[in-house]
Chains A and B, each alone.
Chain A
């Protein structure tokens, strides 16, 4: 995706705290208003929408090109993906080992345990792009340090 998509992604991500701030203002000062009642009654849709916006904006940032996208940037991306693969693999392994015992104690060895584990495994959907952006930007910044000197 072109570099413009990255800017759009950042703007969408900035929009989240703004929306949450508006919700807090409504909650703090206009709790009796019809608008707050409308928002509060549809909070499930609001949470869903915010979740989708976060995921879409994170993927826009991850998948769009830098201003000058050359082979060194591609190599940096590849290295970042490898690091994330290691982090996710080991964290999921630790998670499965630790929580499968815990969930086993809580729900017993039943389908509930399996559903509990699978439900919690959706977190990499948020975690992976956030990690990718953080690691890639740090590596990019580090590689551009010499250029600035």
Chain B
């Protein structure tokens, strides 16, 4: 699953730490999601989407082969 978390963060001009605190996870988790090493749970994905005020599909998208 790919995501454009980095782009969304840049639009709002917030750091990884700020996003992590807002959604209640560690900065390490945000780094792992951004780099695609960790796929968040539905709850966390929805929290992130809510934080950015956008639909889930805008931030997280399935790969072609998924």
> A interface vs B, CB < 8 Å?
68, 70-73, 75, 143-144, 146-147
A sample of 5 cross-chain residue pairs with beta-carbon separation below 8 angstroms, ordered by A number, consists of A68-B26, A71-B25, A72-B28, A146-B28, A147-B27
Task: Provide the bound-state CA to CA distance between A85 and B56, in Å.
Answer: 35
Contact B29 A70 (CB under 8 A): yes
Between A and B, how many residue pairs show CB distances below 8 Å?
A: 31
Fill in one digit per residue for B40-51: 1 if any A CB lies within 8 Å of its CB, else 0: 110010000000
CB distance from A48 to the nearest CB of B (A): 40
Assuming A70-B29, A146-B35, what are 10 further A-B pairs, CB within 8 angstroms?
A70-B24, A70-B26, A71-B25, A71-B40, A72-B26, A72-B28, A72-B29, A72-B32, A146-B31, A147-B28
User: Is there an interface contact between A144 and B28, defined as CB atoms closer than 8 Å?
Assistant: yes
Residues 1-30 of chain B: 1 if any A CB is under 8 Å from the residue's CB, otherwise 0? 000000000000000000000001111110
Asked if A71 contacts B41 (CB within 8 A), the reply is yes
Do B35 and A72 touch (CB < 8 A)?
A: no
> Across the interface, do A72 and B38 meet the contact criterion of CB distance under 8 Å?
yes
Pairwise interchain contact A143-B40, C-beta atoms closer than 8 A: no
Nearest B-chain residue to A142, judged by Cβ: B37
Complex Cα spacing A143 to B30, Å = 11
Are B35 and A75 interface neighbours, CB within 8 A? no
Bound complex: CA of A38 vs CA of B59, how far in Å?
A: 69
Contacts of A70 in B (CB 8 A): 24-26, 29
